[in-house]
Amino acid sequence: MSTTLPASRQKLVGGFLFFCLVAIGAALIWRTFGEQVAVERTETKPIPPQQTPEGNVLAVFGEAPRFSLTERSGKTFTKGDLRARPWIANFIFTSCAGQCPLMSLQMRKLQGLFPADTGFRFVSFTVDPERDTPEVLTQYADRYEAEGDRWFFLTGPKEEINRILNGFFLSPVDQPAMHSIRFILVDGEGQMRGYYDSSDSGAMNQLIHDAKILLRTK
């Protein structure tokens, strides 16, 4: 007796198998993409939930890590150079075509909102120090109209950059594209006072609000 399926059932079974293969392929692609996004936003240590300030009180997340790196000017730049001044930090790399340009535009906006007389400083650490030499960082900084005496671009050994990331409770990176996209608010005593997702407009508005609180309470 023949076991060959009728043509109509063959088409039905074939269509079902094709659908399954498509679904499996889509799931694998989504899993890979999702893992990449998760790596980019993963912290090595749990950061306490961002607290809504009560009155003029901001949360304290610990002391920002010490560092001694090379600024785009070629000079050595340390955490001590920021003493008694509030500052905002982020991590970028100059060949980035994704979030980094947006982060740098936001930092330029903050530079305008908090002019020199506020005392605010801005610090961008590169996560691609092999490519981002002081000369490359200078060209990048000029593109975003960074004020040389207030917005600093720092590079140094990769191991040191990863140590600094860890000190900020952020993941060390093996590939530049997997770096954190958070901004970190630091007060004049070197204490970390807030973390802000640069892809979230509400979080960036909160950063501006919290920075103003630091100015009122310093």
Residues 32 and 117 in one domain: no
The pLDDT, as a whole number, for residue 217 is 83
The pLDDT, as a whole number, for residue 117 is 96
**Which of 18-22, 49-53, 126-130 holds the top average pLDDT?**
126-130
Distance CA 133, CA 58 (A): 36
> Alpha carbon 128 to chain centroid distance?
13
Q: What order do you get walking across the sheet with 182-186 strand by strand? A: 76-78, 68-71, 151-155, 121-126, 87-92, 182-186, 192-197
Beta-bridge partner residues of 54: 57
Mean pLDDT over the full length of the chain = 84
Distance CA 33, CA 28 (A): 9
Residues 79 and 174 in one domain: yes
The pLDDT, as a whole number, for residue 57 is 83
- Please state the domain count of the chain: 2
Residue with tokens 């979230």: 200
Residues 29 and 108 in one domain: no
Q: Which of 30-44, 97-111, 135-149 is predicted least confidently?
A: 30-44
Q: Which two tokens mark 110?
A: 């903050």
Distance CA 49, CA 72 (A): 34
Q: What is the pTM of this model?
A: 0.78
The pLDDT, as a whole number, for residue 152 is 98
The pLDDT, as a whole number, for residue 38 is 34
pLDDT tens by residue, 124-175: 999 999 999 999 999 999 999 999 999 999 999 999 999 999 999 999 998 9
* Best CA proximity match to 199, nearest among 89, 106, 96, 88: 106
Question: Containing domain of residue 206, as a range?
Answer: 68-217
| Element spanning 133, H or E | none
Residues 159 and 78 in one domain: yes
